[in-house]
Chain A
Amino acid sequence: MSISIEKLSHTFSQGTPFEKAVLHDITLELDAGSRIGIAGRSGSGKTTLIQHLNGLLRPTGGAISVNGLEVSSRNLKELRRRVGMVSQQPEQQLFEETVFKEVAFGLSGCAITATETDMRVRGALKAVGLGEEILGSSPFALSCGQKRRVAIASVLLTEPEILVMDEPTAGLDPRGRREILDFISGLQRERGLTLIMVSHNMDDLARLCDRVVVLSNGAVAMDGKTREVFGDIGALERAGLKAPQIRYLMMELKRRIPELDDTVLTVEEARVELGRVWGMKREETGSHDERDDHGEVFPRRFDYSQIGSENKDNPDSDLYDRCISC
């Protein structure tokens, strides 16, 4: 599903002394199936922008449409089913007694059977890489990374086609962060989702996104392929950002090794590029990494072929659609 944003503006507390314009004239086409990163310093309007994508905020100027469907009060239900929103630190909104009840909450009020609910909850948990043994546990007894996945599972329950995530790795330890990124990436590919991710972590964006939009003072300052955006260090730093550390290292190396491609951004890409320049034969080196069609390399930790596959061929999915839009 694509999103079309046309001259979007947003002003908070319009008509009061506290009036504050946060977004100005944002025009963006977000293509179906792409992975788009949104970056910018604090207060640049990132969160405000994405809150327009499922109608949590309405534009005070301009328009936004999802798959040709203009965002308005009449189609909010449909819109929110299709656009899954994972807010910052989603684990803080957990409230139920058990993981099962927590994830199933989104289906309450829909006329579906207990068996159907059960199946969907298990499917969503599997999609985020959690086992069924935690269904009966309190969500508060889980680790930070697990809590975050439970919160994400509850968003996946409506089988959104667009997944919007606000700082999905903030506050996680390095392993939790790697795991969340890996499963987001797997899920995106498996379901062909449109992924829109806000992050302060440039390494995360470099690793996951094929396009990066940089906001500065509520306007689009940069927009392009990830390597192009992180290639323009001057513009990036003017917008208050930094390129990934590897990019700076490669730039320094390029001054000494002219044939080096210094636009690479991730550790794995740099490894491959240095190996190439130094004439290393890269037949299967016994490395346990896999390279995907975006040119990214992911350590193999999850079996992506398992993720979400039970939802794809679900014979009852039209029943499900009807329930959600009821």
Chain B
Amino acid sequence: MTVSAGNIVETSGVEFSHDAGSRPGSGAKALDGITLKIARGEFVALVGRNGSGKSTLARHLNALLLPTGGVVRINGMDTRDESNLWDVRRGVGMLFQDPDNQIIGTTVEEDIAFGPENLGLSPEVIQARVCSALHAVAMTEFVDSAPHLLSGGEKQRLALAGVLAMGPECIILDEATSMLDPSVREEIMGLLRRLNRDEGITILHITHRMDEAALAERIVVMDAGRVVLDGKPGEVFSDALLIRELGLDLPPVTELLDLLSRDGFDLPAGITGMDEALEALMTINFGRMGDVHIN
């Protein structure tokens, strides 16, 4: 079996049924033949309607779930091989929607140290990791705080620090920004972009917010346990009808341009960025102004 050195995630024909053990062949497949490669250092958004299999796929990528068919490889390691379990989980960290589900310490410091302690690292290394994780999420002044007294956004940053302290190569966010207010969401997104750009950490971001997905380099769209679209935001959002059929929306700016082009204005499809949108709209504007002068 050849492993491409550049891919941190490689799945091939992955299938998963929740009740595979009880009555073989009876259950609907939550994953139905997922073949996906994510290269080291990519920033990928994973979108799809509720129940399309996004979270189930995410849980396969750090061996919380094992495929009932096909293979998942993380850094070339088969997740079904139990001897790989520690290395797989150290490589891929998960951040969930509700940070309360993954905070266990009685102080912020203790919580972040929990992961590294279990890796059997020396106290000095653990301390250094806690310190740099706290620094990364800008929570150094909370080091002795009790987690349950933190606000929602602070808890989510703490949970992220706990993941960072494990030194992951890839972070998966399972709707981790959905309960955050706009400013904290922007903060977390900025933090992720920085980790991606400066530390080369691979990011897989599951979200229902299309404007957030549009910030990724690549968007993977799932439906009924399959990957149905995979490409750059501009490509994925260029077919408005298909996107709606899949239970999704266009980002607001993209939708505006789509509606205007349906009104007869000549605008390109799939524009997601503010600057591109401005440029396209101003082109139309100059065209219209020209008309006025002719009249």
B68 at the interface (CB under 8 A from A): no
CB proximity of A60 to chain B, nearest CB, Å: 19
Query: B252 to A267, Cβ gap below 8 A?
Result: yes
Cα–Cα distance between A240 and B181 once the two chains are bound (Å): 8
A175 at the interface (CB under 8 A from B): yes
Residue of A nearest to B247 (CB): A175
- With contacts A42-B153, A241-B183 taken as known, whether A171 is within 8 angstroms of B249 at the C-beta atoms is no
Query: B256 to A249, Cβ gap below 8 A?
Result: yes
Query: B247 to A242, Cβ gap below 8 A?
Result: no
Residue of A nearest to B179 (CB): A170
Chain A residues closer than 8 Å to B248, beta-carbon distance: 173-175
Query: A244 to B282, Cβ gap below 8 A?
Result: no
Which of A41, A248, A268 has the most chain B CB atoms closer than 10 A to its own CB?
A: A41
Residue of B nearest to A274 (CB): B260
A40 at the interface (CB under 8 A from B): yes
B13 at the interface (CB under 8 A from A): no
Residue of B nearest to A279 (CB): B288
Across the interface, A240 reaches (CB within 8 A) one of B178, B183, B251, B252, namely B183
User: Restricting to A28-63, which residues have a CB under 8 Å from any CB of B?
Assistant: 40-43
Q: Mark B238-278, 1 if CB is under 8 A from A, else 0.
A: 00000010011101110110011011110000000010011
CB proximity of A222 to chain B, nearest CB, Å: 14
Residue of B nearest to A240 (CB): B183
CB proximity of A206 to chain B, nearest CB, Å: 10
Query: B252 to A241, Cβ gap below 8 A?
Result: no
Q: Mark A90-115, 1 if CB is under 8 A from B, else 0.
A: 00000000000000000000000000
CB proximity of A235 to chain B, nearest CB, Å: 14
A132-140, A185-193, A251-259: which one contacts chain B? A251-259
CB proximity of B249 to chain A, nearest CB, Å: 4
User: Restricting to A260-278, which residues have a CB under 8 Å from any CB of B?
Assistant: 267-268, 270-271, 274-275, 277-278
A203 at the interface (CB under 8 A from B): yes
Cα–Cα distance between A278 and B264 once the two chains are bound (Å): 11
Query: B256 to A271, Cβ gap below 8 A?
Result: yes
A144 at the interface (CB under 8 A from B): yes
Cα–Cα distance between A43 and B263 once the two chains are bound (Å): 43
Chain B residues closer than 8 Å to A277, beta-carbon distance: 288
Cα–Cα distance between A165 and B180 once the two chains are bound (Å): 17
User: Restricting to A208-247, which residues have a CB under 8 Å from any CB of B?
Assistant: 237, 240-242, 244-246
Q: Mark A74-101, 1 if CB is under 8 A from B, else 0.
A: 0000000000000000000000000000
B24 at the interface (CB under 8 A from A): no
B175 at the interface (CB under 8 A from A): yes
Query: B153 to A174, Cβ gap below 8 A?
Result: no
Across the interface, B247 reaches (CB within 8 A) one of A42, A174, A279, namely A174
Q: Mark B79-109, 1 if CB is under 8 A from A, else 0.
A: 0000000000000000001000000000000
- With contacts A144-B51, A173-B248, A175-B247 taken as known, whether A202 is within 8 angstroms of B182 at the C-beta atoms is yes
* Number of chain B residues close to chain A: CB under 8 A: 46
Chain A residues closer than 8 Å to B210, beta-carbon distance: 174
Chain B residues closer than 8 Å to A287, beta-carbon distance: 262
Chain A residues closer than 8 Å to B118, beta-carbon distance: none
B50 at the interface (CB under 8 A from A): yes
- With contacts A241-B181, A274-B260 taken as known, whether A174 is within 8 angstroms of B274 at the C-beta atoms is no
Across the interface, A178 reaches (CB within 8 A) one of B48, B178, B180, B249, namely B249
Residue of B nearest to A278 (CB): B288
Residue of A nearest to B244 (CB): A175
Chain B residues closer than 8 Å to A249, beta-carbon distance: 253, 256, 274, 277-278
Query: B208 to A174, Cβ gap below 8 A?
Result: yes
B20 at the interface (CB under 8 A from A): no
B4 at the interface (CB under 8 A from A): no
Which of B180, B181, B256, B292 has the most chain A CB atoms closer than 10 A to its own CB?
A: B181
B285 at the interface (CB under 8 A from A): yes
Query: B251 to A172, Cβ gap below 8 A?
Result: no
Across the interface, B256 reaches (CB within 8 A) one of A144, A175, A237, A267, namely A267
Query: A248 to B274, Cβ gap below 8 A?
Result: yes
Across the interface, B183 reaches (CB within 8 A) one of A174, A242, A244, A267, namely A242
Chain A residues closer than 8 Å to B208, beta-carbon distance: 171-174, 177
User: Restricting to B209-225, which residues have a CB under 8 Å from any CB of A?
Assistant: 210-211
CB proximity of A229 to chain B, nearest CB, Å: 14
Cα–Cα distance between A263 and B80 once the two chains are bound (Å): 55
A67 at the interface (CB under 8 A from B): no
Residue of B nearest to A202 (CB): B182
Chain B residues closer than 8 Å to A203, beta-carbon distance: 252
Known: A42-B180, A42-B181, A274-B260. 20 other contacts (CB 8 A): A41-B182, A42-B152, A42-B184, A145-B50, A167-B179, A172-B50, A174-B247, A174-B249, A176-B247, A200-B179, A240-B181, A240-B182, A240-B183, A241-B182, A245-B211, A249-B278, A253-B285, A267-B255, A271-B260, A275-B260
Residues of A at under 8 Å CB distance from B?
Answer: 40-43, 143-145, 167, 170-178, 200, 202-203, 237, 240-242, 244-246, 248-249, 252-253, 256-257, 267-268, 270-271, 274-275, 277-280, 285, 287
Residues of B at under 8 Å CB distance from A?
Answer: 48-51, 97, 151-153, 175, 178-186, 208, 210-211, 244, 247-249, 251-253, 255-256, 259-260, 262-265, 274, 277-278, 281-282, 284-285, 288, 291-292
